[in-house]
Chain A
Amino acid sequence: MERLRTLVVDDELGMREGIRRALDRFEFRIPDVDETYGFEVDTAENGAEAGEKIRSAAPDVLLLDYKLPDTTGLEILERFRPELSESVTLMITAYASLDTAVSAIKGGAFDFLAKPFTPDELRKTLTKAAQNLLLARQVKKLAAEQRRVRFQFISVLGHELKAPLNAVEGYLHMIRDRTLGDSLSDYDEPLNRSLLRLTGMRKIIHDLLDLTRIESGAKRREAAEQDLTSVLRTAVETVQPQAGEKGVSIAVNAPAEFRFRCDAGEIEMILNNLITNAVKYNRDGGRVDILLSDENGTARLTVRDTGIGMTPEETAMLFREFVRIKNEKTRSILGSGLGLAIVKKLALMYGGDVSVESEPDRGSAFTVVLNPLPAE
């Protein structure tokens, strides 16, 4: 149980002790939060004592008598506004006149309690105020967390975009300063590497836009019945030239026809990412085996390669954004670090998921399970 520190400021001993008794062992909950809350009561009998206690540690909840021997509740609210910015205040008034109530609320109190009140009335009003305070804190915490995640994403993105720029800039300096000789052919390697790094940079931007569109929901989903087998065959054809360059052969095992309700663009994104990876991270002359099966309308797709594979530690971090396995074997392979994060997001949108089995130097097998989109 979390106890809210509560300060009761009243010059009547009976009132202070009455409130303490009413809140002792009292508990409450707030909707959707798995925690019970209670109050830990401290007291002050005049403005000076209250001021000292607020200055040393601002309470979560302040119960403030409107009329005090040395000051008024309103003055305390006014004077300690900065200290009390994270607290909630209830004003206790002797007469429930509209005037005092209005001025208390204007002065920053959440609500007011008119004397005399029953312990039950006290607990009800106090619970409402405390719930309000706790929810406001929750919202603030979530907003801070969101800002943190966004900051982190943008930092990494900045880093990933600066790396190719630095590389190209470095090569341009070498060319300008004729570092490798006076003939243009001395610069084949720097020029080719520069072009490759720029292609990689373009890919990051492209994937980033895809990912952002998927996440924001800005991309309109066009659900229609498609033949998954033919979508798959088209995807394989797209990757074929790249596979040819590495001498990688692609074999497809799929039903003759597989009617499946989906957004064809999303499915293409999944297939392109997985099949391109299977080619890129393959060895020269390797194989890619694609198995598509219809399990009572659910699609199960496995893309298996004979490539460099991964260790269990590497596979564990694979589907996060900007995670690229960096080692000797992947060093000259271009990737945005976003492809599998995209596949994962899309699979989840089909009530499915993506998983991987892998063994270093033997290859990897990625399996995606997708459920058809509901008919409108």
Chain B
Amino acid sequence: MSDKQTILVVDDDTDFLFQMETMLKRAGYNVVTAGGQREAEEKLRGLRPDLAVVDLMMEHTDGGFALSYHIKKKDPSIPVILVTAVTAETGMEFDAATDEERSWVKADALLSKPVRFEQLEREMRRLLGGA
């Protein structure tokens, strides 16, 4: 048994998945990837990740919202980080910085693409509580 923490990364961009997987493994995490909402939900059946990193824009425009909602419904204690390229260019503005926003967005943090890995890792450590 490894005591590594498992991170689920969901994005429809192969290269983003590859990069996240490489960086997270180097940082000492177990990584499970999924290319979309459906694949992620299949993988979640036999898996309880310690944290999930979910892209907002997949297949359907709100695929990421739906998925993080489902993850939270399954187990509210799994931290979810939403990653998005949307905010800046569509004028669609939201954040997950306050409790009210978090309860509405169903995510614990929101990062915009391109994701700086150091920033992601800092958020992850904060949400995993240094366990």
Asked whether, in the complex, the Cβ of B14 is within 8 Å of the Cβ of A332, the reply is yes
Cα distance, A162 to B83, chains bound together (Å): 14
Asked whether, in the complex, the Cβ of B36 is within 8 Å of the Cβ of A166, the reply is no
Beta-carbon contacts of A169-187 to B below 8 Å, as 1s and 0s?
1110110000110000000
Beta-carbon contacts of A327-366 to B below 8 Å, as 1s and 0s?
1100110000000000000000000000000000000000
Query: B2-10, B72-80, B84-92, B99-107: which lies at the A interface?
Result: B84-92
A residues less than 8 Å from B32 (CB atoms): none
Give chain B's interface secondary structure class. Answer: helix
Give chain A's interface secondary structure class. Answer: helix
Distance (Å) between the CB of B90 and the closest chain A CB? 4
Cα distance, A189 to B12, chains bound together (Å): 18
Cα distance, A167 to B115, chains bound together (Å): 10
Asked whether, in the complex, the Cβ of B114 is within 8 Å of the Cβ of A193, the reply is no
CB of A159 within 8 Å of the partner chain: yes
Asked whether, in the complex, the Cβ of A173 is within 8 Å of the Cβ of B85, the reply is no
Cα distance, A167 to B13, chains bound together (Å): 8
Given that A326-B12, A331-B35 are known contacts, is A159 also in contact with B89, CB under 8 Å in the complex?
Answer: yes
Tally chain A residues at the interface, Cβ within 8 Å. Answer: 23
CB of A374 within 8 Å of the partner chain: no
B residues less than 8 Å from A14 (CB atoms): none
Asked whether, in the complex, the Cβ of B16 is within 8 Å of the Cβ of A326, the reply is no
Q: Tell me the total A-B contact number using a CB cutoff of 8 A.
A: 57
B residues less than 8 Å from A180 (CB atoms): 22
Given that A166-B114, A174-B22, A328-B39 are known contacts, is A159 also in contact with B86, CB under 8 Å in the complex?
Answer: yes
Cα distance, A327 to B86, chains bound together (Å): 21
Cα distance, A162 to B15, chains bound together (Å): 13
Asked whether, in the complex, the Cβ of B14 is within 8 Å of the Cβ of A159, the reply is no
Cα distance, A66 to B12, chains bound together (Å): 67
Distance (Å) between the CB of B118 and the closest chain A CB? 10
Chain A residue nearest to B38 in the complex (CB) = A327
Asked whether, in the complex, the Cβ of B114 is within 8 Å of the Cβ of A170, the reply is yes
Cα distance, A179 to B16, chains bound together (Å): 15
Asked whether, in the complex, the Cβ of B89 is within 8 Å of the Cβ of A155, the reply is yes
Asked whether, in the complex, the Cβ of A326 is within 8 Å of the Cβ of B113, the reply is no
Chain A residue nearest to B26 in the complex (CB) = A179
List 11 A–B pairs whose Cβ atoms lie within 8 Å, in order of A's numbering. Answer: A155-B90, A159-B85, A165-B114, A166-B13, A167-B15, A167-B16, A173-B117, A193-B15, A326-B12, A327-B36, A331-B14
